[in-house]
Amino acid sequence: MQAAVAIDRFVAAALAPDEWPRALDTISEALGATGATMVLGRTRRASVAVSNSVTGLIEEYFHLAIPDTRETRVLTRITEGFRTDYDDFTPAEMARDPYYQEFLAPHGLGYHAAATLAGGPDELILSLKRPARRGHYDGLELDQLQRALPHLRQAARTAAMAWRASFTGQLDAFTRIGIGAVLLDRRGRAVEVNEAVALGDAVDIVGGELTALLGADRIALAAAIRGALGYDMPSRTPPPSTVIIHRIAGRRPVVADVLPIAGAMQSLLAPAVVIVLLRDLDRQPMPPLELLRRTFGLTPREADLAAQLACGATLREAAVALSITELHARQRLKVVFAKTGATRQTELVMLLGRLG
């Protein structure tokens, strides 16, 4: 029962990172440990979640002058189970290792078990801290760890899928209002782009990274992205960084807002941690067709024409897009004018812009 609660809290904490300390306390208690840490890739503050029970220990760890021999020697794999001390060290090595004897021993700790929960460029590793008095993991206790591991890995997959579903909904919402959106991972690489992003004029994706095409803008955008990736203030609202990106074609610029995604960096399981919103000043969002029809009593074909014009198309361009003649489009426009109360095309575009 305790293990099942631990799994549930693991998923909840991945989505609400403030819950990580309590979740890891539950996991460590269920698996016979004093405390637990979870580390994504290299050990640094922004990539570590810690149980309440060992918070002080980990703070001391980040000021440690003694090298952590486990960091380089213990190599867990997603295809393997939990590794314990005796998989990587002999008792004699542990007895003379400064990390074990000068750092762990004064805190009453002596053993650990570690396993990879999620693979990828940066592996997610769960490490259980065990008191020296209880001895190393073996026998039935080690069997318990190995039985729990598939459930922990499934919990990690579930949490990552929940983040992806959330991101998909956000990207679709921005598409509907005509705002481009690019999701970036912890390395600053673009992992997903919505349909409203126009590449090749103001911005592009080169070598997996979002970049501006003009030199000064490229530097400014890269700096804004670095700032967002380095933001580690989960208790505060992430500050936006706005960059004006000029076009090669010389039309109106694109406004880029670079935002850390609240909670994503601390989650350790979110596939993206930064979102870049791209507002194209030459592009008007398309109002929802169903809303157009219901608001003004337009037919589906009249709503299609009105939506094309609201997006900035000329009457001729709208006619081509709808596969009708320009004369037919003009006749249809007169009916739209009558139903909306607009008298000119510019007035119609402004009206529909407010609706969108």
Q: How far apart are CA 15 and CA 13, in angstroms?
A: 5
pLDDT tens digits, residue range 74-114? 889 999 999 999 999 999 999 999 999 999 999 999 899 99
Reply yes or no on whether the pLDDT at 257 is more than 90: yes
Q: How far apart are CA 15 and CA 112, in angstroms?
A: 27
Query: What pTM, to 2 d.p., does this model score?
Result: 0.75
Name the CATH architecture for the domain at 289-355.
Orthogonal Bundle (1.10)
**Among the listed residues 72, 65, 57, 171, the one whose alpha carbon sits nearest the alpha carbon of residue 104:** 57
Report the chain's mean pLDDT, rounded to a whole number: 87
H or E stretch including 265? helix 264-267
Token pair 């850390």 is found at 260
The CATH code for residues 177-280 is 3.30.450
Phi, psi of 290 (to 5 degrees): -65, -35
**Domain ranges, ordered by start, for the chain:** 2-160, 177-280, 289-355
pLDDT tens digits, residue range 297-324? 999 899 888 888 877 678 888 888 889 9
Cα torsion 15, 18, 20, 22 to 10°: value is -130
pLDDT-derived band at 286 (thresholds 50, 70, 90) equals low
- 14-23, 129-138, 233-242, 267-276: which range is least confident on average? 233-242
Same fold, 2-160 and 177-280: yes
H or E stretch including 158? helix 139-176
The CATH code for residues 2-160 is 3.30.450.80
